[in-house]
Amino acid sequence: MRVRHIKRCQEQLRRLERSYQQLAIADEDYDKHRGVLLTQLAQWQAQRVEPTSVAVSLVEFITALQNPRQWWNGLDDEGRRSLAHSLFRYLLYDLDQQRFTE
């Protein structure tokens, strides 16, 4: 989320600069908006993600991958379909044998 906000501020700065170069906005408006965007950008860039929270999330993720049955049973049909689509490029199901073949 932080990276998305940083990229958004950078894109807004780029567009503001382009508008200013095309004389679409006045000097005062440009200075005002640029100052606000630079402040927002600096705030987002200064935020840090605590390494301990990242490590905990990574441990939880690895644990979940090691025991997929635990979280698979907790999903509804749509959740299972989404999960299967995210894990595999394709699934081949043999209707005669009623099992996945690949």
Q: Dump pLDDT digits (tens) for 44-96.
A: 888 776 665 555 566 766 776 777 777 777 778 887 777 777 776 666 777 78
**CA–CA dist 45, 37 (Å, integer):** 12
CA distances to 2, 24, 47, 88, 90 from 93, rounded to whole Å, are 41, 59, 47, 13, 10
pLDDT at 36: 92
**CA–CA dist 23, 33 (Å, integer):** 15
Higher pLDDT, 41 or 88: 41
Higher pLDDT, 5 or 51: 5
pLDDT at 72: 75
- Model's pTM, two decimal places? 0.47
Identify whether residues 92 and 68 lie together within a single domain.
yes
Identify whether residues 68 and 92 lie together within a single domain.
yes
Query: Which residue range forms the structural domain that includes residue 62?
Result: 51-100
Identify whether residues 57 and 93 lie together within a single domain.
yes
Identify whether residues 40 and 66 lie together within a single domain.
no
**Count of domains in the chain?**
2
**Two tokens, residue 68:** 């997929």
Identify whether residues 35 and 58 lie together within a single domain.
no
Identify whether residues 69 and 83 lie together within a single domain.
yes
